[in-house]
Amino acid sequence: GENVEQHPSTLSVQEGDSAVIKCTYSDSASNYFPWYKQELGKRPQLIIDIRSNVGEKKDQRIAVTLNKTAKHFSLHITETQPEDSAVYFCAASNRRRILTGGGNKLTFGTGTQLKVEL
Amino acid sequence: EAGVAQSPRYKIIEKRQSVAFWCNPISGHATLYWYQQILGQGPKLLIQFQNNGVVDDSQLPKDRFSAERLKGVDSTLKIQPAKLEDSAVYLCASSLGTILAKPYEQYFGPGTRLTVT
């Protein structure tokens, strides 16, 4: 099955700096890579995602890059703000399995605790 | 649009007792997922339904966990009997459920925090 590794487990940055979180996946059939933000005691919220036919996607201060050959993808947050402080999870799934009756479960990384300090 | 609803939000039980969680997905979402999130870890899929059929339950401890989605809408997840290691947040998620539809993202409910003592 799919295995997703995520680094670092904790990340502390100064407000205004950039933050980068990296993930690797094992299943070359995975084709959908979302990132979730989870604040303490709250539900995971989708912040950005990328499909395997795209190498990079950007949404304001957040960007995600995907290297299919190396099987890794990264989250980039620029101009960090205190409200960016949270746990971030990367995930991977194979959406095409839906067509063959299989599941498209998300396999999550272990999470990165991001702290943005004033 | 209304989000995924779950109840109860918190539950404390003793080991060997039973417990049930309820989930109401976003209207029109054919696919429903139950995830287990142990403290400090990412969510792990327990079971996935497509309408009222099970698509993936490979990681569901079937000797103690069961789930159903009788009418293809609401779902219940049951644990009987509970063990200490079942202490976790149980998250329900839903998606439209078709590769051709957009969005195909999974939307999570607020979760049920279970403490087994």
With 70 as the cut, is the pLDDT of residue B64 above it? yes
> What's residue B72's pLDDT?
84
Who has greater pLDDT, B81 or B70? B81
Chain B residue with minimum CA distance to A91? B42
Minimum distance, in Å, between the CA of residue A54 and any CA atom of chain B: 16
Q: In this structure, which amino acid lies at residue A23?
A: C
> What's residue B104's pLDDT?
65
Taking the CA atoms of residue B62, residue B114, residue B40 and residue B38 in that order, the dihedral angle to the nearest 10 degrees is: 0
pLDDT bin (cut points 50, 70, 90) of residue A105 is confident
Please give the structure tokens belonging to residue B63.
Answer: 């000797």
Chain A residue with minimum CA distance to B92? A43
pLDDT bin (cut points 50, 70, 90) of residue A103 is low
Q: Determine contact: A29 vs chain B, CB below 8 A.
A: no
With 60 as the cut, is the pLDDT of residue A6 above it? yes
Mutate to test the interface with B, among A105, A108, A113 (most CBs of B within 10 A): A105
Q: Is the dihedral of CA A29, B41, B109, A63 positive or negative?
A: negative
pLDDT, average across residues A30-51: 92
pLDDT bin (cut points 50, 70, 90) of residue A19 is very high
Which residues of chain A have a CB within 8 Å of the CB of B56? 102-103, 105
Who has greater pLDDT, B75 or A32? B75
- State how far the Cα of A23 lies from the Cα of A90, in Å rounded to an integer: 7
Query: Left, alpha or beta for B16 (phi > 0: left; psi -120 to 50: alpha)?
Result: left
Who has greater pLDDT, A115 or A51? A115
Give SS3 for B97: coil
pLDDT, average across residues A23-35: 93
Evaluate whether B33 touches B45 at the Cβ level (below 8 Å): yes
With 70 as the cut, is the pLDDT of residue B98 above it? no
Evaluate whether A112 touches A9 at the Cβ level (below 8 Å): yes
- State how far the Cα of A75 lies from the Cα of B106, in Å rounded to an integer: 19
> What's residue A53's pLDDT?
84
Query: Could you say which DSSP state residue B73 is in?
Result: S
> What's residue A100's pLDDT?
63
Write the DSSP string, A56-102.
EEEETTEEEEEETTTTEEEEEE-S--GGG-EEEEEEEB-GGGGGGT-
Residues 6+ apart with CB under 8 A from B70: B52
With 80 as the cut, is the pLDDT of residue A67 above it? yes
